[in-house]
Structure 1
Amino acid sequence: MPETPFEPFYGRRGDVRPWQRSFRCSSARVRQPAPMARYREFVELHESLSASPEVTTRRIWLRGMGTAALAVSVAVAGILIGRAVAGPGVPVILPSSAGTGDAVFTYAVCSGAATVQATALLHVLTAVAERPVRAFVSIAMAALAVATLLPLTLAVPAGPALVTAAVHLAGGAAIVLPLARVAAPTGRL
């Protein structure tokens, strides 16, 4: 058999195995992994960007209770001013036979309950949502639109319906804006 140019690599010595002397692709070599110290800055940057900012639930609930007081005040003032301007038909949701005290009490309780529900929604969204403020404002604005448009769909005189819609809009804004503001420092708008 004639000699090939590769004969020195595939010599006839029996002490060396042929596959140990063969040429190998550089990607087949076993490489040592880079030390983690090399990636330390990248890991720190990733952790700082992926960590969710702290919004304490105590802060959310304290703002929620303050917002409830504000919403109750807006509801009471809205009913009293609305009854002075448009007559005893305000609010149109309640029967006309309901006295001013009944209307004020009903709207005060409902606005306080709505604020507590909105605060609980914000609490849950800050824990689970990627962008809690955006989600909260979207949900709250949809509910506010329904509450504002509802009096306008009833078969009642236009004056008391508009005043009731204005009271709902002012009360809803008094609930949504302070609560959205308390969650805004999360940086995840």
Structure 2
Amino acid sequence: MLEELIIAGFGGQGVMSMGQLIAYAGMIEGKNVSWLPSYGPEQRGGTANCAVVVSDTAVGSPLVSSPSCAIVLNNPSFDKFEPKVRPSGILIINSSLVDRKSMREDITIIDVRATDLANELGNSRIANMILMGAYLEYSQILSEESVVESLKKVLSEDKHHLVDINKQALRKGATLVASL
């Protein structure tokens, strides 16, 4: 098993946290992982992306040029990474903020109104976790339990009260994909 993932959006959307969560969850499950962040000119509000590799064998390189999955949270990220998803790959789109449609027929496209759904749950900052839940349910690469356990490492201790709403967001995203 080899999963090469790109997560991309604006700084402040939780892109780096998503990558860290996947990497930590992979370690909890005994997999080999790498996480490589990349920031645009500004952190908050500028573009940000990270590459995550999860594998049963040693990770040869943290660089991902042709991802098996891309999760895009905004239009610039869609424009940059949609063409790079390898054939038979997955493109997960925050369709609340991305107003473009992929015309590719060689990949699986999952549109999730993540920001709208996060607002319905009462916290716009959990849109990333809704997308994460959709990814986890579709890919079956890691368990929700490992990701929730990872939240305690990624979130600072004063933010541990947000674990429950993040769990709700994961389940919301998973439910959306399970019904496809």
Q: TM-score range by the shorter chain?
A: under 0.3
Greater Cα radius of gyration, structure 1 or 2: 1
**TM-score, with length taken from structure 2:** 0.28
**TM-score, with length taken from structure 1:** 0.27
Return the structure number with greater helix share.
1
Which structure has more RCO (C-alpha within 8 Å, separation ≥ 6)? Answer: 1
